[in-house]
Structure 1
Amino acid sequence: MNRTERFYRIELLIKSRGGVSFEELLGELEVSRATLKRDLQYLRDRMDAPIVYDRFDNVYRFEGVAPGAVSKSASHELPGVWFSEAEIHALLTMHQLIKGLDGGGVLGRHLQPLLDKLHGMLGASEGESRELMRRVKIAAPARRPVPPRWFEVVGSALLKRQRIDLLYFTRKRQTESRREVSPQRLIHYRNTWYLDAWCHASDGLRRFALDAVRAAKALDHPRAKDVAMKTVEAELDGGYGIFSGKAEQWATLAFDADAAQWVAQEEWHPEQRLSLQPDGGLRMELPYADATELAMDILRHGPQVKVLAPATLVRMVNERHRTAAALYATD
């Protein structure tokens, strides 16, 4: 029986019997005297359980309940949501993951009250809490931070189903434009947040990088347009990577034996097809709509991968290799 289960058991025994002696609790819980004393103290100090010791009857009972009476009041019940110590440790670790995802910004700040409560349930001292946090580290290279004020506006509007007035910077054209959008979902991808939304100006689904938002304001009316999630996924998740659009082409890549050891364990796309080759290499086929990100991932494998098809992707990767090689050309 773990500590959480013991807390439930102590509360149930006192509530059902009106009063329970220390010896009875020892027999029911099968723990040492020291452990039981710590549990009772913890319930009083950390969980605000009004447990008092009645010297006259030599029992523990709830304050305000007559000796021997069965308590029917809910005022002294333990919280309805409980976690085991292992689960609490997992939640604290998850909190650290969230802090890593948004750099300790808006998500971590809003979850801090929950974190404090979890530390209390765990019985961890401040030093123990810091030690736990130090043992989980999230490295986020090339992270593009999002101003917390814009993240809060977007996140709140998404939950409240409000439209958003966005001032958005398009890097490719180096221009700013104002858009009225209906948010559909948030995506965290490669250390950056994106918003999938229905753009009322272009009358279609679009994906916006939140770090490119220059201003955001939630609109009280009209209500956000709802798009079925299946439609969102079909429209925006079909191609490779974060670039939106339905997949229109399939790429065929050939990795050598060294790269195959790693790539065989990776998922580049949910619909990818992998086949090991007799020489230990790996053949990968995957769909894409926009070749930009796919080409970048191919290039990072250097000479360990060759693009076999389609011809347009072969030319793109070949040209980028030539351009890069020219930077290092010597006389």
Structure 2
Amino acid sequence: MSQHDSPRLRRLLRLIFRLSQTPLGLSLAELAEVEGYTERTCRRDLLLLRKIGLPLQEHSGEHNRKYWHIAPEVQNLKFSLFELLSLYMGRRLLEPFAGTPFFEGIHAVFQRLESQLFSGAALFQAQLAEVFYLSTPGTSDYSARAELIDLLLQAVQQRRTLMMDYRKPGESEAGQYRIQPWSLAAHHGSLYIVAWSEYAQDVRHFKVDRIESLQILHKKFQIPDSFSVQAWLEGSFGVFSPENRSYHIEIEFFGTAAETVRESRWHPNQKFTSKPDGRTVMSLNLRSLYEIKSWVLSFGSQARVLKPSLLVRMVREELQTTAKLYRRKNDTT
């Protein structure tokens, strides 16, 4: 899309929103007043929306005044047109899981709506794709794993034990695991099973990508009443299995990182403290250090671990090992 098209697309989205909020419709004069454009511009935009397939209609009101409204079939769905467009955005967010029941479900729903209401809206959707770009580097590809994921969902919903062949990172062959799949978790475009390992007699996490085969067994299980997958995962900085101890973590940020780190919610119990010289100290409590170690390293020289000493040592050793990879053969410093 050219830069010239972007302002017009923003106008089109605002018009859709206005009409979605006003079931009885708005006149060109009313639209022009609230949007700050001429009636001619508003009419041209409305005609374009109708031309590309959006269900807009024009009717005559009092004194033969023309009103624009959304077609009745959309109103009967109890969805506003803007809500349907939001559904389209939600489908984009699930695109990393294409091929799984998670994506195919919302895709099928939208296709039915699309066939009834948006049959000619391909151009508008293409423009939306330019406005709402989804970056998915490093996400998993589940396009060929629909059957496996469907079996996983059945096992989770029916609380049935699984036997699976699973290959751990760094191992050439898969091992056999008997697990009770308690929940599925999505993290950074990948799916994980939160399960009770009958061999380890503890909760373990298994990445779906590494499952080579699985079989649903007849044996059923009960999830302990005291277990909450949300509370369990809050002990980690991602999806790594929490340990049986708690760590109080403090990380100091410098430069631009001191500002940008505050812009996001990294963990439910995070806290920030600003220093007079512009530094920011982030504190949080976790039961696993593996993932936060990698996260700290991603900030380079703009982050330094203050606590705990174990994490300080882990980061230091990682940096020393990395530095050796870049050391010149004749570099003795």
- TM value normalised by structure 2: 0.71
Match of 2:313 in 1: 315
Q: Does 1:206 align with 2:204?
A: yes
Matches within 5 A, 1:116-155: 116-128=111-123, 130-131=125-126, 134-135=129-130, 136-146=132-142, 147-155=145-153
1:237 matched to 2:239? no
Q: 8 Å contact 1:205–1:232 — kept in the other structure?
A: no
Q: Equivalences for 1:1-12 in 2 at 5 Å?
A: 2=20, 5=23
Q: 239, 242, 255: which is aligned to 1:257?
A: 255
CA contact (8 A) 2:165 2:177 kept: yes
Once residues 108 and 284 of structure 1 are traced to their aligned partners in structure 2, the CA distance between those partners, rounded to angstroms, is 36
1:57 corresponding residue in structure 2? none
Match of 1:271 in 2: 269
Structure 2 residue aligned with 1:107: 102
Give 2:238's aligned amino acid. G
Distance 1:4 1:164 in 2: 52
Offset of 1:102 from its aligned partner?
A: 1.1
Q: 1:185–1:195: 8 Å Cα contact kept in structure 2?
A: yes
User: Which amino acid in the other structure matches residue 279 of structure 2?
Assistant: G
Partner Cα separation in structure 1 for residue 65 and residue 227 of structure 2:
53
Flag structure 2 segments of 5+ consecutive residues without an equivalent: 1-18, 26-58
Which segment is superposed worse, 90-99 or 169-178?
169-178
Matching residue of 1:19: none
Deviations 1:169-208 (A, max 9, x none): 1215555222232222211111211111222333332211
CA distance in 2 between partners of 1:138 and 1:251 (Å):
32
Flag the 1:119–1:229 CA change in 2: closer, same or farther, 3 A: farther
Q: What residue in structure 2 maps to residue 67 of structure 1?
A: none
- Residue type of the alignment partner of 2:263: Q
Q: TM-score, normalised by structure 1?
A: 0.71
Q: Report the Cα offset of residue 26 of structure 1.
A: 6.4
- Give the secondary-structure state (helix, strand or coil) at the position aligned to 2:183: strand
SS at match of 2:212: strand
Q: Structure 1 residues 327 and 256, CA, compared in 2 at 3 Å: closer, same or farther?
A: same
User: What is the RMSD computed on CA atoms of the aligned residues?
Assistant: 3.2
2:136 and 2:230 mapped to 1: Cα distance?
A: 26
Asked if structure 2 preserves the Cα contact closer than 8 Å seen for 1:3 and 1:85, the reply is: no
Q: Is the 8 A contact 2:98 2:104 kept in 1?
A: no
d(CA) in 1 for partners of 2:226, 2:90: 26
1:296: Cα distance to partner? 1.0
1:96 aligns to what SS in structure 2? helix
Secondary structure of 1:151 counterpart: helix
Partner of 2:154 in structure 1? 156
Q: Which residue of 2 aligns with 1:170?
A: 168
**Which amino acid letter does the alignment assign opposite residue 245 of structure 1?**
P
Q: Secondary structure at the match of 1:163?
A: strand
User: How far apart are 1:126 and its partner, in Å?
Assistant: 4.8
8 A contact 2:234–2:268 mirrored in 1: no
1:227 maps to which of 224, 228, 244: 224
* Alignment check: 8 A CA contact 1:119 1:129 kept: no
Partner of 2:33: none
2:167 alignment partner, SS class? strand
Q: Which moved more, 1:277-286 or 1:159-168?
A: 159-168
Change in Cα spacing, 1:83 to 1:253, as seen in structure 2 (3 Å) is same
- State the identity %: 23
8 Å CA contact 1:187–1:195 kept in 2: the answer is yes
C-alpha separation in 2, matches of 1:223 and 1:178: 19
Determine the structure 2 residue equivalent to 1:58.
Answer: none
Rg: which structure is higher? 1
Shift of 1:27: 6.3
The count of residues paired between Structure 1 and Structure 2 equals 273
SS of 2:91's equivalent? Answer: helix
Q: Separation in 2 of the partners of 1:120 and 1:297?
A: 44
2:97, 2:103 within 8 Å by CA — same for their partners in 1? yes
- What SS class does the counterpart of residue 178 from structure 2 fall into? strand
